[in-house]
Amino acid sequence: MSARADKRIVIIVHEPGNRRVLGQAVAEIGRTPVAIDSEDALRACLTDDNPPRAALVDTSGFGHAVWALCGLLHEHEIPFLVLSTAKDHEASHRSLEYGAASVLSKPVTKDALLKLLQSLDRRDEAGP
């Protein structure tokens, strides 16, 4: 499989520890994690010849900038899941407003997250 054909999942996560374990989990289901931490980097990724199949967004650590990133994902019709702390109700609401497929409270069960992620990857279901 060439690098261009990788099934890429964008990981928009500020905390290095979370970025690491989410990247490892994504790799376990045969996807290539692409860590993004800025709007410019996300734009470049989204306009690439091999756009991402889906995205994971952790709202922690970005402040309001995270909503611009969610807006971009929505604009490019990239399905995405949002991870937030259990008590952050505002983040949950706004995530849905910006087009999140679902909002999950941390910590999440790895198996459940990965199954959800696979279900979002409709192109994967459609086959190569």
Partner 1 sequence: MSSAVNEFHAQPSDIDQSVSSPERLSTGILELDEILDGGLIARRDYLVRGGPGLGKTTLGLHFLCAGHEGERALFIGFQESEAELRANAASVGIDTSNVNILSLAESDAFFTEAQAYDVFAASDVEQAPMVNQLVEAIDRIRPTRVFVDSLTQLRFVSADLGQFRKQVASFLRFLDGRGATVLFTSESTREVPDDDLQFIADGVIALAQGPSSSELRVTKFRGSGFQRGAHPFRVDDSGFHVYRRTLPPPQRVVETAAVQLRSGNAELDGMLEGGVEAGTVTLVTGPTGIGKSTLAGLFAVASARAGRPAAVYQFEEEMNGWLARLRTLGVDADSPVREGMLSLEQVEPLRYLAAEFTNNVSRRVREEGLELVVIDSVAGFELALGGEEDVKQPLHAFIKTLSRLGVTVILVNENHAAVGNLQVSEREISYVADNVIYLAYVQSGDALAKIIGIMKKRLSGFDTRQRAFEIGPGGIRINGLASELGISVGIGNTPSRRN
List contacts with partner 1 (CB under 8 A).
13, 15-18, 20-22, 24-25, 58, 83, 106-111, 113
Q: Which is nearer to partner 1, 96 or 114 (CB)?
A: 114
Least separation in angstroms between CB 83 and partner 1? 6
CB 10 within 8 A of CB 41: no
User: Of 121, 123, 124, 18, nearest to 79 (Cα)?
Assistant: 121
Least separation in angstroms between CB 27 and partner 1? 13
DSSP 5: G
User: Of 34, 91, 83, nearest to 65 (Cα)?
Assistant: 91
Least separation in angstroms between CB 16 and partner 1? 5
Tokens of 54: 């889906």
Which residue is it, tokens 């261009």? 4
Least separation in angstroms between CB 98 and partner 1? 20
Q: Which is nearer to partner 1, 17 or 128 (CB)?
A: 17
Q: Which is nearer to partner 1, 73 or 113 (CB)?
A: 113
Q: Which is nearer to partner 1, 13 or 78 (CB)?
A: 13
CB 7 within 8 A of CB 121: yes
